[in-house]
């Protein structure tokens, strides 16, 4: 992969770039923390291959990490339509909803992630951040 492509800059072959090539380039941009550029590249891949989880996941990540939380939420919603039992997708949806200030909805998705993957420290920690504080003497089962 040439340096121009890794940076997300267009070149004369872009119109012929395969979906796989776009996905690879988008993931390389994410690894280099060029999330907004990655989103642009991955949007092209998603237009060419709609409803592909392998494209939607990094696209949602790129949106989220570039501060485009509503776009991330929409992509994660689509990912959950494809696979409603994916704990990571529920976690990602929860994080985007949290950033949008939609805490009750975020709590619902992180609870689903924990239920689907109860051994995940990441998901349990995220749930603890979203749970309202307990009153003294109260337990979660009250």
Q: Give the separation between CA 16 and CA 81, rounded to whole angstroms.
A: 30
Percent with pLDDT over 70 in the chain = 82
| 62 compared with 133, residue with greater pLDDT | 62
| 1 compared with 23, residue with greater pLDDT | 23
Average pLDDT value for residue range 105-119: 97
Average pLDDT value for residue range 64-74: 98
**Taking 90 as the threshold, does the pLDDT of residue 25 lie above it?**
yes
- Whole-model pTM: value is 0.81
**Taking 60 as the threshold, does the pLDDT of residue 2 lie above it?**
no
Alpha helices in the chain (DSSP H): 3-6, 19-31, 35-48, 53-65, 69-82, 87-99, 103-116, 121-130
CB contact set of 136 (below 8 Å; sequence gap of 6+): none
**End-to-end CA, the chain:** 57
Smallest CA-to-CA distance from 6 within 96, 95, 21 is with 21
pLDDT at 39: 98
pLDDT at 142: 44
**Taking 70 as the threshold, does the pLDDT of residue 3 lie above it?**
no
137: left (phi over 0), alpha (psi -120 to 50) or beta: left
pLDDT at 131: 86
Rounded to whole angstroms, what are the CA distances from 123 to 47, 105, 127?
A: 31, 15, 6
Mean pLDDT of the chain: 89
Q: Give the separation between CA 93 and CA 69, rounded to whole angstroms.
A: 10
**Taking 60 as the threshold, does the pLDDT of residue 138 lie above it?**
no
Q: Name the band, by pLDDT with cuts 50, 70 and 90, for residue 85.
A: very high
The two three-digit tokens of residue 105, written as one number: 């909805």
């Amino acid at each position: 992969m040439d340096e121009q492509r890794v940076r997300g800059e267009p070149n004369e072959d872009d119109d012929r770039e395969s979906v796989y090539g776009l996905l690879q380039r988008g993931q390389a941009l994410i690894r280099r923390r060029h999330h907004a550029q990655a989103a642009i590249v991955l949007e092209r891949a998603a237009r060419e291959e709609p409803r592909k989880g392998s494209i939607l996941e990094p696209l949602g990540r790129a949106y989220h990490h570039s501060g485009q939380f509503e776009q991330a939420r929409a992509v994660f919603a689509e990912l959950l339509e494809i696979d409603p039992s994916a704990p990571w997708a529920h976690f990602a949806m929860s994080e985007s909803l949290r950033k949008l200030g939609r805490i009750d909805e975020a709590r619902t998705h992180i609870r689903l992630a924990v239920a689907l993957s109860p051994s995940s420290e990441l998901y349990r920690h995220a749930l603890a951040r979203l749970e309202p504080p307990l009153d003294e003497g109260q337990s979660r089962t009250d």
